Chain A
Amino acid sequence: SQTIHQWPATLVQPVGSPLSLECTVEGTSNPNLYWYRQAAGRGLQLLFYSVGIGQISSEVPQNLSASRPQDRQFILSSKKLLLSDSGFYLCAYGGGTDTQYFGPGTRLTVL
C-alpha cells in the first residue's frame, strides 16, 4: 500500500530565513506529486505539481520553489521567507483517476 510522509510537522522560522520541506512517497512508482498551501480557515491553493523527476510546474508566482530530485521525493524550498508564507503545507500524490492522497502536512509559522 502507498504511504506519504512529510516533515517537519511544525516549523517556526524568522522572516528572511530559508525553508526546506520534504515529502516522500512509498509503495508507488512515478506518481504525480503536488504541493498545496492552506491559509488558516481557507481552502487549498495549488503551488506546484510534478509529473516526473525534474519536471516542475508552478501555479502561483511567489518566492517558493520546488524540486523533485528522485522519483518519490518532492521538496518545497524558499531562499527568504516572508510573513505571508505562513500556513499549512500539504503534499499529495495522485492515485487512480488522479485522486489525490495527502500527507500529514507541515504547519509553518513565519515570525
Chain B
Amino acid sequence: AQKITQTQPGMFVQEKEAVTLDCTYDTSDPSYGLFWYKQPSSGEMIFLIYQGSYDQQNATEGRYSLNFQKARKSANLVISASQLGDSAMYFCAMRGLNTGGFKTIFGAGTRLFVKA
C-alpha cells in the first residue's frame, strides 16, 4: 500500500526566512513520482514541484526545492525567502509509476503561516 505522511498540521515562519515542510512516504513501487501542491484560501490546487524517484538531483523551481532522501523515504519541501503570499495549505503527493496505476495519493497537508 502507498502512504503519504505530513506530520506538521501547522507551521509558522517569519517573512524572508526559509521553511521546511516535512513529507514521508511509503511505497513498494520501485519507480514513483513525488509532488508538492499549494492550496491558498481560494481553494485552487497549484502544482509547485515534481521529483522522480530516479532523478539524481533534487528538484528546484524558483524559491521551491525538494529535499529528496530516498533511503529515508522523505521528500521535504523547502521554501526560501518566505513571502506573505506563501501562507497556504501545502500538500505532498505521490504516484507509483508501475503499480500505482493512475492514482495519486495526497497527504493531509500542512498549513503555513508567514508572519510579517
Contact = CB atoms under 8 A, between A and B. Distances in A.
The answer to whether A and B belong to the same complex is: yes
Interface of A: 32, 34, 42-44, 46, 49, 51, 57, 59, 88, 90, 92, 94, 97-105, 107
Given A94-B102, A100-B47, A103-B44, 10 more contacts: A32-B102, A42-B108, A43-B108, A46-B104, A46-B105, A49-B102, A97-B33, A99-B33, A105-B44, A107-B43
Contacts of B35: 99-100
Chain B contact residues (Cβ within 8 angstroms of A): what range? 20 to 34
A98 B35 CA distance: 10
A46 B103 contact: yes
B91 to A, nearest CB: 6
| Chain B contact residues, majority secondary structure | strand
20 contacts: A34-B102, A42-B109, A43-B107, A43-B108, A44-B106, A46-B103, A59-B103, A88-B43, A92-B45, A98-B33, A98-B102, A99-B33, A99-B47, A100-B93, A102-B37, A102-B44, A102-B45, A102-B47, A103-B44, A104-B42
Contacts of A98: 33, 95, 102, 104
Nearest to B49: A99
A68 B18 CA distance: 43
Interface in B46-101: 46-47, 50, 52, 91, 93, 95
Residue in B37, B45, B52, B106 with the greatest tally of chain A CB atoms within 10 Å: B45
A9 B15 CA distance: 32
A66 to B, nearest CB: 14
Nearest to B109: A43
Interface in B30-46: 33, 35, 37, 42-46
Contacts of B42: 104
Contacts of B103: 46, 49, 59
Contacts of B44: 102-105
Contacts of A104: 42-44
A43 B91 contact: yes
Residue in A57, A59, A88, A102 with the greatest tally of chain B CB atoms within 10 Å: A102
